[in-house]
């Protein structure tokens, strides 16, 4: 059977050659449908493991080693930087701080461009290349543009990225311009950039790779396979992750439910989606069961500073399918959670730490039991936003503040500085 695109809501079906960003009938998101390339009699899970030992980047990639569960591409078309395969850690200080005894940290900041976006981008850019797209484009709070710019550079394609002029960190911008993307900043916020790039795509000028792109979701869903595989294809009780535009949440739920469907997973984990208080339109929609009301987003966690998330309908379905929950946390709690993770050697950018803050909040409310097995998904590397780190440590009232201490360079003053630091 050929691969097709199908609307997740009204089931309208589209030819791949006619790819558009959303369903032309109802405006909801599209999904790639394809035949899985293994029979019920064979189990490719051993192969998934074996491919990890390959020296070929796309063979061992945490996306492409699961290729039996992905749309099919010619190996020569694949654009890969060896993404995925991010490690999962236990963390003592973080466990103690959050009250979660059985806590695991899946750190997607270990990806090639430092954020979770790479897993999906590898497939989206592969698709763009296979479809001979002229230009690939996205709106971004920073990480999508860094990832797209880098993968487009690998593919020899031109990327266009549209960002809000304020509230994008220097390091994310640096990644985009350095890889050769046409980098356009606009006066509005992310939501305005999103509207603009959708219009460009609608006019057929660019191939859109924001998270509503169905191929990006295919790549992103593999994070679920990794989480299952690392515990012998057993699901944890909870997956906790931050949400902005909500594509990640939808993709993870898709991965878990497909793994369950083909009998690779014993059950579905519950998904907890965390937003910042100042950018929590989805949490409101989830709590009230009313259509999402866009808000003017405000939070220092710039990667989730989104007031009108594109994938809110699909995310509601994802939470329903997993008996999930949505919760909002304050910027102060996010900042503290970030510092706690860093003290365990697991630094991350602020948006990622929202997940831990949310997990701690759900533990405090007894929604998550103390012994439950939790995987907190960190989405971005700590060097993505060093300004936020410095600000925290120079804030005298911050609980884990560790400011730089200038001393004279002579041995006596250095000795005085060291004295008593370790009891
Ligand atoms: C993109 C991003 C998010 C939000 O993911 P969505 O799919 O938009 O919900 C969270 N954290 C980081 C670091 C990101 O880059
Ligand atoms: Zn539709």
CB 385 within 8 A of CB 350: yes
Q: Which of 318, 313, 306 is nearest to 244 (CA)?
A: 306
Q: Does residue 247 line the site of ligand 1, with CB under 6 A?
A: yes
Rounded CA-CA distance 14/254 in Å is 20
Nearest CA to ligand 1 atom 14: 303
CA of 190 to the centre of ligand 1 (A): 12
Rounded CA-CA distance 267/49 in Å is 21
Q: Does residue 381 line the site of ligand 1, with CB under 6 A?
A: no
CA of 160 to the centre of ligand 1 (A): 19
Q: Does residue 212 line the site of ligand 1, with CB under 6 A?
A: no
CB 8 within 8 A of CB 29: yes
pLDDT, position 20: 79
pLDDT, position 199: 94
Ligand 1 atom at shortest distance from the alpha carbon of 142: 15
- Tell me the three state secondary structure of residue 6: strand
pLDDT, position 3: 87
Q: Does residue 281 line the site of ligand 1, with CB under 6 A?
A: no
Specify which residues 197 forms β-bridges with: none
Nearest CA to ligand 1 atom 1: 303
| End-to-end CA, the chain | 68
Mutate to test the pocket of ligand 1, among 124, 301, 379, 385 (most ligand atoms within 8 A of CB): 379
Nearest ligand by distance to the CA of 28: 2
Q: What distances in angstroms separate CA 377 from CA 108, 324, 346, one per listed residue?
A: 7, 15, 12
Contacts of 202 (CB under 8 A, 6+ apart): 20, 21
Ligand 1 atom at shortest distance from the alpha carbon of 379: 13
CB 326 within 8 A of CB 273: yes
Phi, psi for 186 (deg, rounded to 5): -115, 165
- Predicted model pTM: 0.96
Q: Does residue 304 line the site of ligand 1, with CB under 6 A?
A: yes
Rounded CA-CA distance 243/101 in Å is 24
* DSSP structure string for 317-374: HHHHHTT-EEEEE-HHHHHHHHHHHHHTT--B-HHHHHHHHHHHHHHHTTSS-TT-EE
Mutate to test the pocket of ligand 1, among 216, 219, 285, 380 (most ligand atoms within 8 A of CB): 380
pLDDT tens-digit profile, the chain (423 residues): 578 999 988 999 998 877 778 888 988 889 999 888 887 778 899 999 999 999 999 999 999 999 999 999 999 999 999 999 999 999 999 999 999 999 999 999 999 999 999 999 999 999 999 999 999 999 999 999 999 999 999 999 999 999 999 989 999 999 999 999 999 999 999 999 999 999 999 999 999 999 889 999 999 999 999 999 999 999 999 999 999 999 999 999 999 999 999 999 999 999 999 999 999 999 999 999 999 999 999 999 999 999 999 999 999 999 999 999 999 999 999 999 999 999 999 999 999 999 999 999 999 999 999 899 999 999 999 999 999 999 999 999 999 999 999 999 999 999 999 998 998
Ligand 1 atom at shortest distance from the alpha carbon of 352: 11
Q: Does residue 216 line the site of ligand 1, with CB under 6 A?
A: no
pLDDT, position 18: 75
pLDDT, position 358: 98
Mutate to test the pocket of ligand 1, among 241, 248, 383 (most ligand atoms within 8 A of CB): 248
pLDDT, position 208: 95
Ligand 1 atom at shortest distance from the alpha carbon of 242: 10
Ligand 1 atom at shortest distance from the alpha carbon of 243: 9
Residue 158 CA from chain centroid, whole number: 23
pLDDT, position 24: 87
Q: Does residue 211 line the site of ligand 1, with CB under 6 A?
A: yes
């Amino acid at each position: 059977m050929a691969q097709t695109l199908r609307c997740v809501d009204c089931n309208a079906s589209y030819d791949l050659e006619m790819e558009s960003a959303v369903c032309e009938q109802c405006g909801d998101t599209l999904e790639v449908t394809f035949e899985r390339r293994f029979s019920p009699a064979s189990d490719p899970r051993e192969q998934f493991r074996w491919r990890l030992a390959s020296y070929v980047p796309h063979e061992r990639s945490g996306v492409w080693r699961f290729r039996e569960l992905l749309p099919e591409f010619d190996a020569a078309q694949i654009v890969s930087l060896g993404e995925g395969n991010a490690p999962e850690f236990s963390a003592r200080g973080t466990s103690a701080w959050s009250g979660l005894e059985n806590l695991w940290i899946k750190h997607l900041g270990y990806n090639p461009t430092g954020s979770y976006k790479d897993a999906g981008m590898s497939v989206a850019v592969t698709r763009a290349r296979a479809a001979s797209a002229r230009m690939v484009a996205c709106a971004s709070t920073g990480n999508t543009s860094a990832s797209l710019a880098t993968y487009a550079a690998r593919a020899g394609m031109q990327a266009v990225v549209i960002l809000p002029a304020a509230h994008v960190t220097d390091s994310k911008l640096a990644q985009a311009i350095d890889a050769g993307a046409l980098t356009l900043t606009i006066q509005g916020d992310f939501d305005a950039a999103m509207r603009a790039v959708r219009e460009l795509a609608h006019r057929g000028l660019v191939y859109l790779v924001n998270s509503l792109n169905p191929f990006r979701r295919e790549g992103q869903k593999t994070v679920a396979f990794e989480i299952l595989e690392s515990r012998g294809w057993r699901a944890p009780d909870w997956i906790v992750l931050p949400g902005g535009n909500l594509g990640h949440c939808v993709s993870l739920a898709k991965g878990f439910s497909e793994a369950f469907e083909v009998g690779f997973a014993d059950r579905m984990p519950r998904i907890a989606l965390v937003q910042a208080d100042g950018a929590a339109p989805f949490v409101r929609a989830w709590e009230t069961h009313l259509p999402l009301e866009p808000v003017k987003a405000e939070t220092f966690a710039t990667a989730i500073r989104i007031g009108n998330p594109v994938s809110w309908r699909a995310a509601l379905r994802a939470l329903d399918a997993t008996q999930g929950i949505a919760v909002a946390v304050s910027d102060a709690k996010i900042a503290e959670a970030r510092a706690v993770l860093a003290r365990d050697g697991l630094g991350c950018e602020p948006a990622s730490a929202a997940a831990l803050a949310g997990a701690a909040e759900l533990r405090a409310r007894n929604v998550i039991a103390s012994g439950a097995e939790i995987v907190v998904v960190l989405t971005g590397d700590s060097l993505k936003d060093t300004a936020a780190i410095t600000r925290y440590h120079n804030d005298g009232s911050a609980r884990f503040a560790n400011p730089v201490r200038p001393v004279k360079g002579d041995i006596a003053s250095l000795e005085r500085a060291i004295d008593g630091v370790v009891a």
